[in-house]
Every structure is written in C-alpha cells, then in structure tokens.
C-alpha cells in the first residue's frame, strides 16, 4: 500500500493557538501562558487563585496575545465542563490544551516514629488529593477538550501534559509518581485514540525547575538535591517552555514524552 502524504501547513503558528493552560496563575503555568501571549496566541488561564490569575493577566496586558482567566478546580467534572465551554466562548474557539495544574502531598508510604515506634502511613487523603488533581484533572480536561474538538470539527488540535521525572518513582512521592507515570501512559493512549481526529498529544517531564517551590527551599537542601543532576543546576521555566512549544508546533509529534531534566536519573 502506498504511503499517504499530507502537505503540512506547519510548523503550527503559535499565534493561531487558542489555548487553555491549567494551573496557569503561577510557576511553570504562568510562564507557558505568558510565552504563548508573547507569540500572539489567545490564552485562557484556569486556576483556583483569583489574585494570582489577576497578577498573570497584568503581566500579559502589554503582550501581543490576549489572556483570559477562569476559576476552575480541574478535579471537579462540572468545573472542567464549564471551563471548556467558557474558554471556547471567550476565545472564539479552542485548539490547544496544556494540562499543567498539579499539587504535592509528599510522604513515605510507611515510616516508624523514631521516638514511639508507631508506624506512620501516607494517608488516603494525601493519595486521593494528588491523584484527583494530577491525574483525574488531566483526564477530565483532555476528555472534554477532545469532545469539543471532535464535535466542532476543530483540526488540528493539541494536548500537552506536564508530567515529571518523578514518574520513574521518587522516594517520598508514591502518590505523585503514580499520577505522573499514569499521565505519560495516557499521553501515549490518547495519541493513538485521537490521531484520527487530528488531535495530537505530548508530554513534558521536567526535573528540578526554578519555581517558587524550589526557591523556598533552604540553600543547603537544594544544593544536595542538585548533586543528582549532571548539569548541577535547576531548569528555567523558559527551558521547559521550549519543550512545550516544540510539541505544539511539530505536526509529526504525538504520543511521546520529552524529558527535560538536566540528565538526572531516578
């Protein structure tokens, strides 16, 4: 059978994107949203912090693109349904989704108390909270986004999932590692399922990134962590954006994960 060919109209132009960025009010999400606006895209930032979203909107005010904000909890189905519909209405369409929202509830699976010997356990609440936001949230957002694109005939479209090096299994992160590993598996599955509709998928797995979480660490703790990184430094949010941008722009990329971790191995 002869190979099929399609004349590409690519790379995808960033200024043609109408994108949702979840968790876009701070950290990496804010960097993604601002970089999209810097290139002329239309963006809807979804987050729970109205104040942080207002700060992000102010930073985007003088950029070529347009930034909207919507309060949404990605772990709640009704919120996600409203987000997809509302963002599409605000932006006059929707063709990109960056699943960035995430939380941590770190702890060892079990740990004997040094004084009492009592066995401390990771709580079910800590497990459920992380799985809800970091795995169920991307599932709901991707499902509703894909349904919108298929229903409206939006093609091409792209989903970018933000995973983590922790997907390989990081001590003290049973819940987070499980969620981020599952997200990469879903990226592959969705790539297979959604290609027929012109929807591509991709994941980015950052290592240590220079965000407020790491900036709040004691210097000696951070220095110890960075000994495991061959490049001996954190990544900038701009370096993670480069991987996100590649996925958004490259029409022949789908179902795969890009590691941006400074060469670190877990």
Q: Give the model confidence (pLDDT) of 65-118 as tens digits.
A: 999 999 999 999 999 999 999 999 999 999 999 999 999 999 999 999 989 999
CB distance 163 to 149 below 8 Å: no
Confidence at residue 219, expressed as pLDDT on a 0 to 100 scale? 84
Task: Quote the CA–CA distance of 212 and 227 in Å, as a whole number.
Answer: 20
Confidence at residue 12, expressed as pLDDT on a 0 to 100 scale? 85
Cis ω on the peptide bond leading into residue 192 (within 30° of 0)?
Answer: no
For residue 223, pLDDT over 90 is answered with no
Give the class (CATH, top level) of 14-260: alpha beta
What's the rounded mean pLDDT across residues 157-185? 95
Burial 164-177 (b: 16+ CB within 10 A, else e): bbbbbeeeebbbbb
* Sign (positive or negative) of CA dihedral 205, 239, 31, 223: positive
Task: Quote the CA–CA distance of 208 and 10 in Å, as a whole number.
Answer: 32
Q: Which residues contact 53 (CB under 8 A, 6 or more apart)?
A: 24, 25, 45, 47, 69, 71
CB distance 191 to 257 below 8 Å: no
Domain ranges of the chain: 14-260
For residue 227, pLDDT over 90 is answered with no
Strand boundaries in the chain, DSSP class E: 18-22, 42-47, 66-71, 96-99, 110-112, 119-121, 157-162, 199-206, 256-260
1 — pLDDT class (breaks 50, 70, 90): very low
Q: How many Å separate Cα 253 from the centre of its chain? A: 17
Residues 254-263 have pLDDT tens digits of: 999 999 999 9
Q: How many CB atoms lie within 10 A of CB 13?
A: 13
Catalytic amino acids?
176
Residues 10-43 have pLDDT tens digits of: 678 999 999 999 999 999 999 999 999 999 999 9
Strand boundaries in 76-148, DSSP class E: 96-99, 110-112, 119-121
For residue 5, pLDDT over 60 is answered with no
Which tokens hold the place of 11? 């790379």
- Say which residue, 69 or 229, is predicted with more confidence: 69
For the chain, percent of residues with pLDDT exceeding 90: 83
Task: Quote the CA–CA distance of 217 and 200 in Å, as a whole number.
Answer: 37
For residue 2, pLDDT over 50 is answered with no
What's the rounded mean pLDDT across residues 215-228? 82
For residue 235, pLDDT over 60 is answered with yes
Strand pairing of 119-121 and 110-112?
antiparallel
Residues 110-147 have pLDDT tens digits of: 999 989 999 999 999 999 999 999 999 999 999 999 99
The mean pLDDT of the chain is 93
The DSSP output letter for 133 is I
Q: What is the pTM of this model?
A: 0.93
Find residue 157's DSSP bridge partners.
199
End-to-end alpha carbon distance in the chain: 43
7 — pLDDT class (breaks 50, 70, 90): low
CB distance 105 to 73 below 8 Å: no
């Amino acid at each position: 059978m002869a190979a099929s060919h399609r004349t590409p109209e690519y790379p995808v132009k960033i200024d043609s994107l109408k994108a949702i960025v979840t968790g876009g009010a701070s950290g990496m999400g804010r960097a993604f949203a601002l970089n999209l606006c810097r290139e002329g895209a239309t963006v809807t930032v979804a987050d729970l912090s109205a104040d942080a979203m207002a700060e992000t909107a102010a930073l985007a005010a003088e950029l070529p693109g347009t930034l909207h904000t919507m309060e949404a909890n990605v772990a709640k189905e009704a919120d996600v349904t409203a987000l997809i519909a509302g963002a599409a209405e605000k932006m006059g369409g929707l063709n990109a989704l960056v699943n960035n929202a995430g939380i941590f509830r770190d702890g060892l699976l079990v740990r004997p108390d040094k004084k009492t010997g009592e066995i401390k356990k990771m709580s079910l609440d800590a497990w459920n909270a992380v799985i809800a936001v970091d795995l169920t949230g991307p599932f709901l957002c991707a499902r509703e986004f894909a349904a919108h694109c298929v229903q409206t005939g939006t093609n091409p479209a792209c989903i970018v999932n933000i995973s983590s090096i922790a997907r390989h299994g990081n001590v003290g992160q049973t819940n987070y590692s499980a969620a981020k590993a599952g997200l990469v598996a879903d990226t592959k599955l969705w790539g297979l399922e959604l290609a027929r509709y012109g929807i591509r998928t991709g994941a980015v797995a950052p290592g240590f990134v220079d965000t407020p979480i790491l900036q709040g660490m004691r210097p000696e703790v951070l220095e110890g962590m960075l000994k495991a990184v061959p490049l001996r430094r954190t990544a900038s949010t701009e370096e993670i954006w480069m991987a996100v941008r590649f996925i958004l722009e490259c029409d022949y990329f789908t179902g795969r994960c890009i590691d941006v971790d400074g060469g670190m191995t877990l």
